[in-house]
Amino acid sequence: MNTIQFAQRIPKAELHVHLEGSIRPKTLLKIAQRNKIDLPAKDEAGLRDFYRFSDFDHFIQVYSLITSCLKTPEDYRLIAYEFGVECARQNIRYAEVTFTLDTNIRMSGLDWETILESLNTGRKEAQDEYGIQWNWIFDINRNNPGEQEAKILEIALRSKEKGCVALGLGGSELEYPGQLFRDVFDHADKAGLACVPHAGETAGAESVWQSLNELHAVRIGHGVRAIEDPKLVEYLVDHQTPLEICPTSNICLGVYPDYNTHPLRKLWDAGVMVTVNSDDPPMFNTDLNHEYQVLVEQFGFQAKDLEKISLNGVKASLLPDDEKSLMITEFKNEFKTLREALS
């Protein structure tokens, strides 16, 4: 077994992945057909071509189309279950999955209770069948400030016993900076709900600082542009604030032109707590196994580094401490077995 095979087989945790952006073309075709929705392609190959990222406007177009196809409780059950199937294929044992609830409420016409119940039905089926575990992050869309923050926070707080572990923030950092959402994240923090905003992706280090200082961030979604501020890198190292880095997504979205210029290795070498994630896998022609392969082929990671990355995903998760400890022990035992096969 070589290092690439080791990377594929080790147990993993993923902290930055969007459910809507994880729907496979084959599944979208099935959902669209039964809901009588026309797609830009009639077969899986054509839809894969449509999925293929070209620019950010196209990315939004694809994302909107995917969400607009979801109309029934069965659709939500299916996409959750199939997310679990994909986790099992990649040996992802735990995930924290971002879901843009407000957009789905508006586009489907369903109430949030029905959507979440259906998602959790699929989640339980996957857990029962494959042993996969995940929790939800409900995110606020920055692009609609003032329209849905209070509602999403209320739903997230009411859903803590139904798997919601955090409040997220997505959308355009440049147009809608974090400070616009200070109040809702203050409320979330005071109510004991973790805050995990996207920052330092399309905007620079100042966006990360805002998330840390004004939004009570316990983790940073992306965060790669922290590299632009040495003082911020030092802060992240000192506080071991986790970054949810998505290398292939960053390349596709033009944050960096290629892996050679991507700062993951510099952040890792500086001692930042790095986690690696897939973001919107089919839309960027990736998955978490591929991201681990990229670590080996593009960033020179060895087996011991991959083990640490995997454990960082567990340590940076929002699982209770006792569950983290148990999962870390399980991961380490599997690492040992795989390492023996590697040698």
Average pLDDT of the residues in 60-81: 94
Is position 53 within any domain? yes
Number of domains in the chain: 1
CATH code at position 8: 3.20.20.140
The mean pLDDT value of the chain amounts to: 95
Can you give the pLDDT at residue 156? Answer: 98
Is position 199 within any domain? no
320 CB-side CA count, 13 A? 3
pLDDT 10s digits, 89-120: 999 999 999 999 999 999 999 999 999 999 99
Is position 284 within any domain? yes
Is position 222 within any domain? no
pLDDT at 58 over 90: no
Can you give the pLDDT at residue 275? Answer: 98
Residue 52 confidence class, pLDDT cut points 50, 70, 90: confident
**Pick the catalytic residue: 201, 244, 291, 307?**
201
Is position 224 within any domain? no
Nearest CA among 45, 105, 39 for reference residue 66: 39
Is position 198 within any domain? no
Cα of 115 vs its chain's centroid, Å: 19
pLDDT at 1 over 80: no
Residue 41 confidence class, pLDDT cut points 50, 70, 90: confident
Residue 129 confidence class, pLDDT cut points 50, 70, 90: very high
pLDDT at 222 over 80: yes
Is position 211 within any domain? no
Structural domain for 49, as ranges: 3-179+244-259+269-342
Cβ-based neighbour number of residue 250 at 10 Å = 24
Active-site annotation holds for 201: yes
Is position 214 within any domain? no
333 Cβ neighbours under 8 A, 6+ residues apart? none
